Amino acid sequence: MLWLADSFEAIRDFMSLGGPVLKVIAVTIFLMWVVIVERIMFFRTSMGAMSREIYDNWESRPERKSWNAKQIRELMISRFSEATNRGINLIQTLVALCPLLGLLGTVTGMISVFQVMAVSGSGNVRAMAAGVSQATVPTMAGMVGALSGVLLVTILSRRAAREVEFLEDSLTMDH
Protein backbone atom coordinates (compact mmCIF):
# COMPACT_ATOMS: atom_id res chain seq x y z
CA MET A 1 0.00 0.00 0.00
CA LEU A 2 3.02 2.22 0.43
CA TRP A 3 3.67 2.18 -3.32
CA LEU A 4 0.21 3.68 -3.89
CA ALA A 5 0.96 6.59 -1.57
CA ASP A 6 4.36 7.07 -3.18
CA SER A 7 2.81 7.02 -6.66
CA PHE A 8 0.18 9.55 -5.66
CA GLU A 9 2.84 11.82 -4.18
CA ALA A 10 4.99 11.54 -7.31
CA ILE A 11 2.04 12.45 -9.53
CA ARG A 12 1.16 15.38 -7.28
CA ASP A 13 4.76 16.65 -7.41
CA PHE A 14 4.85 16.27 -11.19
CA MET A 15 1.57 18.17 -11.57
CA SER A 16 2.84 21.02 -9.40
CA LEU A 17 6.05 21.23 -11.48
CA GLY A 18 4.17 21.93 -14.68
CA GLY A 19 1.91 24.69 -13.48
CA PRO A 20 -1.77 25.21 -14.25
CA VAL A 21 -1.51 24.30 -17.94
CA LEU A 22 -0.38 20.78 -17.02
CA LYS A 23 -3.72 20.22 -15.28
CA VAL A 24 -5.55 21.14 -18.49
CA ILE A 25 -3.28 18.78 -20.45
CA ALA A 26 -4.01 16.00 -17.95
CA VAL A 27 -7.76 16.49 -18.32
CA THR A 28 -7.42 16.53 -22.12
CA ILE A 29 -5.39 13.30 -22.14
CA PHE A 30 -7.85 11.68 -19.73
CA LEU A 31 -10.82 12.59 -21.95
CA MET A 32 -8.96 11.34 -25.02
CA TRP A 33 -8.31 7.99 -23.37
CA VAL A 34 -11.91 7.69 -22.14
CA VAL A 35 -13.14 8.04 -25.72
CA ILE A 36 -10.43 5.65 -27.00
CA VAL A 37 -11.41 2.98 -24.47
CA GLU A 38 -15.10 3.50 -25.34
CA ARG A 39 -14.35 2.97 -29.03
CA ILE A 40 -12.30 -0.15 -28.31
CA MET A 41 -15.16 -1.54 -26.22
CA PHE A 42 -17.62 -0.74 -29.01
CA PHE A 43 -15.49 -2.56 -31.59
CA ARG A 44 -15.15 -5.60 -29.32
CA THR A 45 -18.80 -5.81 -28.25
CA SER A 46 -21.65 -3.96 -29.97
CA MET A 47 -20.26 -3.54 -33.46
CA GLY A 48 -20.40 -7.24 -34.36
CA ALA A 49 -24.00 -7.53 -33.21
CA MET A 50 -24.93 -4.39 -35.11
CA SER A 51 -23.26 -5.70 -38.27
CA ARG A 52 -25.04 -9.07 -37.98
CA GLU A 53 -28.40 -7.36 -37.39
CA ILE A 54 -27.97 -5.19 -40.50
CA TYR A 55 -26.87 -8.22 -42.53
CA ASP A 56 -29.84 -10.29 -41.32
CA ASN A 57 -32.28 -7.46 -42.05
CA TRP A 58 -30.88 -7.12 -45.55
CA GLU A 59 -30.94 -10.86 -46.26
CA SER A 60 -34.54 -11.14 -45.06
CA ARG A 61 -35.73 -8.62 -47.66
CA PRO A 62 -37.74 -10.28 -50.43
CA GLU A 63 -36.25 -8.09 -53.16
CA ARG A 64 -32.94 -6.25 -53.33
CA LYS A 65 -32.69 -4.84 -56.85
CA SER A 66 -35.08 -1.88 -56.91
CA TRP A 67 -34.15 1.73 -56.38
CA ASN A 68 -35.87 1.67 -52.99
CA ALA A 69 -33.84 -1.38 -51.93
CA LYS A 70 -30.61 0.36 -52.97
CA GLN A 71 -31.56 3.41 -50.89
CA ILE A 72 -32.34 1.23 -47.87
CA ARG A 73 -29.00 -0.51 -48.30
CA GLU A 74 -27.22 2.85 -48.42
CA LEU A 75 -29.09 3.96 -45.29
CA MET A 76 -28.06 0.80 -43.42
CA ILE A 77 -24.42 1.23 -44.44
CA SER A 78 -24.50 4.92 -43.56
CA ARG A 79 -25.89 4.26 -40.07
CA PHE A 80 -23.28 1.58 -39.48
CA SER A 81 -20.53 3.91 -40.71
CA GLU A 82 -21.76 6.66 -38.42
CA ALA A 83 -21.78 4.29 -35.44
CA THR A 84 -18.28 2.94 -36.12
CA ASN A 85 -16.78 6.40 -36.71
CA ARG A 86 -18.48 8.08 -33.74
CA GLY A 87 -15.92 9.67 -31.45
CA ILE A 88 -12.96 9.32 -33.81
CA ASN A 89 -13.08 13.00 -34.81
CA LEU A 90 -13.14 13.94 -31.13
CA ILE A 91 -10.09 11.77 -30.48
CA GLN A 92 -8.27 13.37 -33.42
CA THR A 93 -9.14 16.83 -32.07
CA LEU A 94 -7.88 15.97 -28.59
CA VAL A 95 -4.67 14.51 -30.06
CA ALA A 96 -4.09 17.74 -31.99
CA LEU A 97 -4.89 19.81 -28.91
CA CYS A 98 -2.27 18.16 -26.68
CA PRO A 99 0.84 19.68 -28.33
CA LEU A 100 -0.87 23.06 -28.57
CA LEU A 101 -1.57 22.99 -24.85
CA GLY A 102 2.04 21.95 -24.30
CA LEU A 103 3.12 25.01 -26.27
CA LEU A 104 0.85 27.16 -24.13
CA GLY A 105 2.58 25.71 -21.06
CA THR A 106 5.94 26.57 -22.57
CA VAL A 107 4.89 30.15 -23.17
CA THR A 108 3.45 30.60 -19.67
CA GLY A 109 6.58 29.05 -18.12
CA MET A 110 8.85 31.33 -20.09
CA ILE A 111 6.79 34.32 -19.05
CA SER A 112 7.41 33.40 -15.41
CA VAL A 113 11.14 33.04 -16.17
CA PHE A 114 11.16 36.52 -17.72
CA GLN A 115 9.28 37.90 -14.71
CA VAL A 116 11.90 36.47 -12.35
CA MET A 117 14.66 37.92 -14.53
CA ALA A 118 12.96 41.32 -14.52
CA VAL A 119 12.58 41.36 -10.74
CA SER A 120 15.82 39.75 -9.54
CA GLY A 121 18.09 39.96 -12.54
CA SER A 122 19.56 37.10 -14.53
CA GLY A 123 21.87 36.00 -11.71
CA ASN A 124 19.18 34.25 -9.65
CA VAL A 125 19.26 30.78 -11.19
CA ARG A 126 17.17 29.12 -8.48
CA ALA A 127 14.28 31.48 -9.03
CA MET A 128 14.41 30.85 -12.77
CA ALA A 129 14.50 27.05 -12.38
CA ALA A 130 10.82 26.87 -11.39
CA GLY A 131 9.83 28.76 -14.52
CA VAL A 132 12.03 26.59 -16.72
CA SER A 133 10.46 23.41 -15.36
CA GLN A 134 7.04 25.02 -15.78
CA ALA A 135 8.02 25.63 -19.41
CA THR A 136 9.41 22.18 -20.26
CA VAL A 137 7.15 19.78 -18.36
CA PRO A 138 3.90 20.78 -20.14
CA THR A 139 5.65 20.55 -23.51
CA MET A 140 6.77 17.02 -22.75
CA ALA A 141 3.35 16.05 -21.37
CA GLY A 142 1.57 17.43 -24.42
CA MET A 143 3.84 15.53 -26.79
CA VAL A 144 3.51 12.28 -24.82
CA GLY A 145 -0.27 12.67 -24.80
CA ALA A 146 -0.38 13.31 -28.53
CA LEU A 147 1.93 10.40 -29.34
CA SER A 148 -0.09 8.03 -27.19
CA GLY A 149 -3.24 8.98 -29.05
CA VAL A 150 -1.92 9.13 -32.63
CA LEU A 151 -1.27 5.42 -32.93
CA LEU A 152 -4.61 4.39 -31.48
CA VAL A 153 -6.69 6.87 -33.45
CA THR A 154 -5.03 5.59 -36.62
CA ILE A 155 -5.79 1.99 -35.68
CA LEU A 156 -9.38 2.84 -34.76
CA SER A 157 -10.09 4.83 -37.93
CA ARG A 158 -8.62 2.12 -40.15
CA ARG A 159 -10.64 -0.55 -38.35
CA ALA A 160 -13.82 1.50 -38.75
CA ALA A 161 -13.20 1.96 -42.48
CA ARG A 162 -12.41 -1.75 -42.90
CA GLU A 163 -15.59 -2.82 -41.08
CA VAL A 164 -17.77 -0.47 -43.13
CA GLU A 165 -16.19 -1.75 -46.33
CA PHE A 166 -16.72 -5.36 -45.24
CA LEU A 167 -20.40 -4.72 -44.47
CA GLU A 168 -20.83 -2.92 -47.78
CA ASP A 169 -19.35 -5.89 -49.64
CA SER A 170 -21.48 -8.40 -47.75
CA LEU A 171 -24.81 -6.70 -48.54
CA THR A 172 -25.26 -8.09 -52.02
CA MET A 173 -27.75 -6.67 -54.50
CA ASP A 174 -28.71 -9.96 -56.18
CA HIS A 175 -31.86 -11.95 -55.44
Q: Which region among 13-22, 88-97, 151-160 has the lowest average model confidence (pLDDT)?
A: 13-22
pTM over 0.75: yes
Tens-digit pLDDT profile for residues 137-165 = 999 999 999 999 999 999 999 999 999 99
**Nearest-angstrom CA–CA distance, 134 and 3:** 26
Q: Would you place residue 175 in the very low, low, confident or very high pLDDT band (cuts 50, 70, 90)?
A: low
> What is residue 1's DSSP assignment?
-
**Nearest-angstrom CA–CA distance, 133 and 37:** 31
| Structural domain spans, the chain | 25-170
**Nearest-angstrom CA–CA distance, 131 and 173:** 65
